[in-house]
C-alpha cells in the first residue's frame, strides 16, 4: 500500500517503480508509444491537445492510432491509478513511458508530476503515421513546439518494438542507439518511410550520425526531449516544477531480460 506523506520526488519514484515492476517487458514499447500518443496531439498555436491523459478516454483509445495495443497498456495504468489515486492519468501515462525506457535498460528519466487531466478527447489526426516526408515530420513536431533535434532524438524510441510483427532493431527489448547505427550503416530494415526520410534529410542526418556515434548523447537528448514532450499543454506546471532528467550511464549497463 503506498504511503501518503510522500515528497513529490518520492511519489514519482514510487509510482515509476510500481510501473517498472508490474509492466510485462513485452508491453514496454507500447507504453512508450502511448506516452507519445497522449502528448503528441498538442498544437501550440491553439493550445489544444497535449499530455492531459485523454488517451485513456474510450473514444480516443479506440481511434485507429491507438486501437488494439492501447487497451492492454491502460489496464496497468488503471491499476496504478487505483494504487495512487492522487496522481493524474496524464502523469501515469507519461510515467508509463519513462518506466518502459527503464524496463528496457535505458536511463531513469525524472519527468515530474502535476500534469492536468482533461475530460474532452484531443482533436484527431494529429499523430504521424509513418508515411510522412521529413518536411511534414518537422512541421508536425514544430506544431508541438519541438525542434528537429527533438524529432530525431525521440525517433530513437524506435529502437524498441515492432511494426507489422517485424522488429525495428535487432534487439527490440533493449533501449540503445541501435536505431541510429542501423540507419547510418543502412543495415536496418527501415520499416517506415519516415526512417528513410530522417536519414535522407540534410538537417536531420547530422543528429542521426551523432546519436549513432555517441549513445550517451542520445540518452541525454532523448531524456530531455521526452520530459518536455510529456509536459506539452502543461507549460505553466513545467516552469514551476522544473523537473530534471537523471541519467544512468549507458556504458556497462546490464541488458534487460525478457519476462
Ligand atoms: C517521428 C515520428 C513518428 C512516426 C512517424 C511514428 C510512427 C510509428 C509507426 C507507424 C509505428 C508502428 C505501428 C504499428 O505497426 O502498429 C510506431 C511504433 C512505435 N513508436 Fe512511433 N512514430 C513516431 C514517433 C514516436 C515517438 C516520439 C515515440 C516515443 C517517444 C514513438 C514510439 C514508438 C514505439 C515504442 C513503437 C513500437 C510499439 C510496439 O512495438 O508496440 N514513436 N511508430
219-230 per-position pLDDT tens digit: 999 999 999 999
pTM for this structure?
0.93
Q: Are residues 107 and 233 located together in one domain of the fold? A: yes
Q: Are residues 174 and 105 located together in one domain of the fold? A: no
Q: Are residues 68 and 25 located together in one domain of the fold? A: yes
Q: Are residues 115 and 15 located together in one domain of the fold? A: yes
Q: Are residues 197 and 232 located together in one domain of the fold? A: no
Question: Which is the catalytic residue, given 6, 27, 31, 37?
Answer: 37
Residue 37 appears among annotated catalytic residues: yes
Name which residue sits closest to atom 9 of ligand 1, judged by CA.
130
Is 249 among the domain residues?
A: no
Using most ligand atoms within 8 A of CB, pick from 93, 130, 176 the residue to mutate for ligand 1. Answer: 130
pLDDT by residue (tens digit) across 52-90?
999 999 999 999 999 989 999 999 999 999 999 999 999
- Domain coverage including residue 156: 134-219
pLDDT at 254 > cutoff 50: no
pLDDT at 6 > cutoff 80: no
Q: Are residues 105 and 152 located together in one domain of the fold? A: no
Place of cell 488517451: 55
Q: CA-CA-CA-CA torsion for 177, 179, 180, 182, nearest 10 degrees? A: 120
Distance 158 CA to ligand 1 centre (A): 6
**Ligand 1 atom showing the smallest separation from residue 164 Cα:** 15
In the chain, % of residues over pLDDT 90: 83
Q: Phi/psi of residue 141, each to 5°?
A: -70, -35
Whether residue 192 has its Cβ less than 6 Å from ligand 1 = yes
Q: Are residues 231 and 111 located together in one domain of the fold? A: yes
Q: Are residues 207 and 235 located together in one domain of the fold? A: no
Is 156 among the domain residues?
A: yes
Helices (H), the chain: 8-22, 28-39, 58-61, 70-83, 89-103, 134-144, 148-155, 178-185, 193-200, 205-213, 215-229, 235-241
Whether residue 36 has its Cβ less than 6 Å from ligand 1 = yes
Q: Are residues 102 and 116 located together in one domain of the fold? A: yes
Instruction: pLDDT band for 247, please (50, 70, 90 cuts).
Output: low
Amino acid at each position: 500500500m503506498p504511503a501518503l506523506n510522500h515528497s513529490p520526488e518520492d511519489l514519482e519514484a514510487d509510482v515509476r517503480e510500481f510501473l517498472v515492476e508490474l509492466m510485462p517487458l513485452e508491453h514496454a514499447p507500447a507504453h512508450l508509444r502511448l506516452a507519445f500518443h497522449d502528448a503528441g496531439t498538442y498544437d501550440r498555436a491553439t493550445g489544444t491537445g497535449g499530455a492531459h491523459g485523454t488517451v485513456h478516454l474510450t473514444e480516443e483509445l479506440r481511434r485507429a492510432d491507438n486501437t488494439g495495443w492501447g487497451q492492454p497498456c491502460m489496464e496497468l495504468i488503471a491499476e496504478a491509478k487505483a494504487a495512487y489515486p492522487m496522481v493524474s492519468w496524464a502523469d501515469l501515462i507519461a510515467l508509463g513511458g519513462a518506466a518502459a525506457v527503464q524496463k528496457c535498460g535505458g536511463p531513469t528519466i525524472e519527468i515530474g508530476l502535476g500534469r492536468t487531466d482533461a475530460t474532452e478527447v484531443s482533436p484527431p489526426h494529429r499523430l504521424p503515421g509513418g508515411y510522412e516526408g521529413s518536411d511534414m515530420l518537422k512541421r508536425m513536431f514544430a506544431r508541438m513546439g519541438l525542434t528537429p533535434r527533438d524529432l530525431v532524438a525521440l525517433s530513437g524510441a524506435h529502437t524498441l518494438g515492432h511494426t507489422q510483427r517485424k522488429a525495428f532493431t535487432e534487439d527490440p527489448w533493449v533501449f540503445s542507439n541501435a536505431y541510429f547505427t542501423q540507419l547510418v550503416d543502412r543495415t536496418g530494415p527501415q520499416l517506415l518511410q519516415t526512417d528513410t526520410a530522417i536519414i535522407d534529410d540534410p538537417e536531420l542526418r547530422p543528429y542521426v550520425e551523432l546519436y549513432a556515434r555517441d549513445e550517451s548523447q542520445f540518452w541525454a537528448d532523448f531524456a530531455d526531449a521526452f520530459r518536455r514532450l510529456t509536459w506539452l499543454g502543461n507549460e505553466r506546471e513545467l516552469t514551476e516544477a522544473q523537473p530534471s532528467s537523471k541519467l544512468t550511464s549507458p556504458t556497462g549497463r546490464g541488458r534487460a531480460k525478457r519476462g
